[in-house]
């Protein structure tokens, strides 16, 4: 799924969660989970 690497890059660039949800089509819960994983890695 290509949207997850895109969401990761957007999070790393400091973009707002809601914008990432809108642009990738992922759910807010999915984006929050990715963000948590990035913060703990």
**For the segment 3-34, what is each residue's pLDDT rounded down to a tens digit?**
999 999 999 999 999 999 999 999 999 999 99
Residue 4 CB contacts under 8 Å (≥ 6 apart), including other chains:
26, 34
Predicted TM-score (pTM) of the model is 0.88
Confidence grade of residue 41 (pLDDT, cut at 50, 70, 90): confident
d(C-alpha 17, C-alpha 10), whole Å: 9
Are 10 and 20 in contact by the 8 Å Cβ rule? The answer is: yes
Q: At residue 1, does pLDDT exceed 90?
A: no
E strand segments, 1-41: none
DSSP 41: -
């Amino acid at each position: 799924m290509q949207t997850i690497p895109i969401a990761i890059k957007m999070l790393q660039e400091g973009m707002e969660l809601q914008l990432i949800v809108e642009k990738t089509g992922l759910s807010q819960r999915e984006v929050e989970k990715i963000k948590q994983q990035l913060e703990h890695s």
